[in-house]
Structure 1
Amino acid sequence: MTVQVKGEFEVKRSPQGACDLGDGVAAGHIRFDKRFLGALNATSVVHMLAVGTEVEGSAAYVAIERITGSLEGRTGAFFMQHNGVMDRGTPSLSLTVVPDSGTGELKGLSGRMAIDITDGRHYYTFDYVLSPEE
C-alpha cells in the first residue's frame, strides 16, 4: 500500500568544478546538502550535473541523492535519482527511489518524490511503499 508523507526541507547549494563534456563544453556541477523535516527526518547529499541549450528556457539536469535518517520512525538510508527537464520554459521533474537501495529499516523501499518551492521555501511530497524483505 502506498503511503504519502509531506514536509519541508532546507537546502544549501555549493558549486563544484565544472564537468568536462568534450569539445570545450561543460556541465555545471553543484552539491546540495539538505535537511528534511517532518515524517522524513533526514539529511542528504546531492550531486547534480546540469546543462543549458542555446534556446532560452531549455535545459536539463540529472542528480544522485543519498538520504540518511528516519522515515516515519524507521531508520536507514536510500538513494534517489533525479531527472529534470526544462522544455522551452515548461518544467518536468522525476525523483525516484533507486531500486534496492534502502538500508536498515528502509530495506524494500520504493517510491517517488515531488518538490515544490513556494515563496522561497522547499516542500516535499513523498509517495512510498515499504515492502517486507524477500
Structure 2
Amino acid sequence: MIEDAPIIAPFEIAGWEQQPYGDEGERNELAQVTVTKIFTGDIEGQSVARLLMAGNPAGAGYLASEIFTGVVGTRSGSFVVQHGGLVDGADAHSFGSIVPGSGTGELAGVRGEAIYANNEEGHTLTLTLRFVDESA
C-alpha cells in the first residue's frame, strides 16, 4: 500500500436501524441510526456506524463514529472513523478522519482522512492514509 495515495472502495449498506428523537412535528427531523456496511475491493471488511442525523426541507446533516474491521491494502486490523456531512439543496459536503491511536493489528499507527460518497454508481469510501510509530 502506498501511503498518502487515495484508496477507493465500494461498499453496500447491509443494515439500517433508525430511531427518531425530539418532539413530534418539529421543523427538524432528528434520528439516531445504526448502520452496518460491507466493503469490497482494496478495502475489504465490515463496519458498524452510529449516526446522529438531522433533516428539514432545506437541508440535512449527520455526525458518526464508525468502527471498521478488515483489510486495507495488505494490512489487517481495525480503526475508528469520525465523519459527517451536510446537504444544502443540491450542494453536499462530507468530512472524516481516522481517530489517532484507534488502529489495531497491522493497522496500528494509522492516521488519515476518510471520505464517504454516494452517487449513481453506489456508495464509496476514499481513504488517504499514513502510518506513525506509536511505540514511543
TM value normalised by structure 2 = 0.82
- Structure 1 stretches (4+) deviating beyond 3 angstroms? none
Tell me the equivalent position of 1:132.
133
Tell me the equivalent position of 1:70.
71
Report the more deviating stretch, 68-77 or 115-124: 115-124
- Corresponding residue to 2:32 among 29, 32, 38: 29
Structure 2: distance between partners of 1:38 and 1:119:
18
Query: What is the Cα-based RMSD across aligned positions, in Å?
Result: 2.1
Aligned partners of 1:82 and 1:93 also within 8 Å:
yes
Unaligned runs of 5+ in 1: none
Q: Where do residues 93-112 of structure 1 align in structure 2 (5 Å cutoff)? A: 93-112=94-113
Structure 2: distance between partners of 1:90 and 1:4:
23
Partner AA of 1:117 in structure 2:
N
Aligned partners of 2:83 and 2:114 also within 8 Å:
no
TM value normalised by structure 1 = 0.83
Using the TM superposition, give the Cα deviation of residue 87 of structure 1 relative to its aligned residue in structure 2, in angstroms.
Answer: 2.7
**Residue-by-residue CA offset, 1:71-102 (whole Å, 9 max, x unaligned):** 11211111111121123442111021111111
Structure 2: distance between partners of 1:78 and 1:61:
20
Tell me the equivalent position of 1:87.
88
Using the TM superposition, give the Cα deviation of residue 16 of structure 1 relative to its aligned residue in structure 2, in angstroms.
Answer: 2.9
Give 1 or 2: higher strand fraction: 1
Secondary structure of the 1:18 match is strand
Using the TM superposition, give the Cα deviation of residue 20 of structure 1 relative to its aligned residue in structure 2, in angstroms.
Answer: 4.2
